[in-house]
Amino acid sequence: MLMSRKMLGLAVAERSMIAVEVVAVGGQYRAVRAATFVYPDQASLDSPAQLGKAIKQFLRAEGFSARRCVIGLEAKWLMAREKLIPPGSDDSLVGILSIQAEREFTSDYAELVLDYVGPIDTHQGRQVLLVAASGQHVQQLRALAAEAGLKPAAITATTMALADSSDPADTDDYLLLHLTPDGAELAVRSGGSVRLLRRLSVAIAQDDSSDAAGSWMNDLAGQLRRVISLLPDPPDAEGKRQLHVWNRAGLDEESLDALAEQISAKAKLCESSADVDLAGVSGIATADAAVAACLGAAGLRGQRLGVDFLHAKLAAPTQRAVGKRSIQIAAGLVAAVVICILLLLHWTRTQHEVDALAKQITKMAPSVSKTQDIVERIRFARPWHDRQPTYLDCLRDLTMTFPIEGIIWTTSLTIQEDMQMVFSGKAVNEEAVLDVLDKLKDSPAFSQVRQMYLREAGKGQSEIAFAIAAHYSGPITK
Amino acid at 278: L
In three-state secondary structure terms, 280 is coil
- Compute the distance between CA of residue 57 and CA of residue 110 in angstroms, rounded to an integer: 35
pLDDT in tens, 359-411: 988 888 888 888 888 888 887 776 665 555 778 889 989 999 999 888 999 99
Asked if pLDDT for residue 306 goes beyond 80, the answer is: no
Give 476's pLDDT tier (boundaries 50, 70, 90): low
- The reported pLDDT for the residue numbered 89 is 60
Amino acid at 437: L
- Compute the distance between CA of residue 455 and CA of residue 430 in angstroms, rounded to an integer: 9
Reading phi first (left if > 0) and then psi (alpha if -120 to 50, else beta), residue 267 is in beta
Cβ neighbours for 119, distance < 8 A, ≥ 6 positions apart: 85, 93, 126, 127, 128
Tell me the pairing of strands 78-85 and 174-180: unpaired
**C-alpha distance from residue 449 to each of 240, 436, 471 (Å):** 149, 11, 7
Roughly what angle, to the nearest 10 degrees, separates helices 253-263 and 210-229? 40
Q: Percentage of the chain with pLDDT > 70?
A: 82
In three-state secondary structure terms, 47 is coil
| Number of other CB atoms surrounding residue 53 within 10 Å | 16
Most confident of 169-178, 266-275, 377-386, 432-441: 432-441
Reading phi first (left if > 0) and then psi (alpha if -120 to 50, else beta), residue 239 is in left
Between 478 and 84, the higher pLDDT residue: 84
- Compute the distance between CA of residue 420 and CA of residue 470 in angstroms, rounded to an integer: 6
> Residue-wise over 323-355: b if at least 16 C-beta within 10 A, else e?
eeeeeeeeeeeeeeeeeeeeeeeeeeeeeeeee
| Number of other CB atoms surrounding residue 319 within 10 Å | 8
Q: What is the largest CA-CA distance in the chain?
A: 165
- Compute the distance between CA of residue 236 and CA of residue 233 in angstroms, rounded to an integer: 9
pLDDT in tens, 316-360: 554 444 566 778 888 889 999 999 999 999 999 999 999 999 998
Mean pLDDT of 429-440: 91
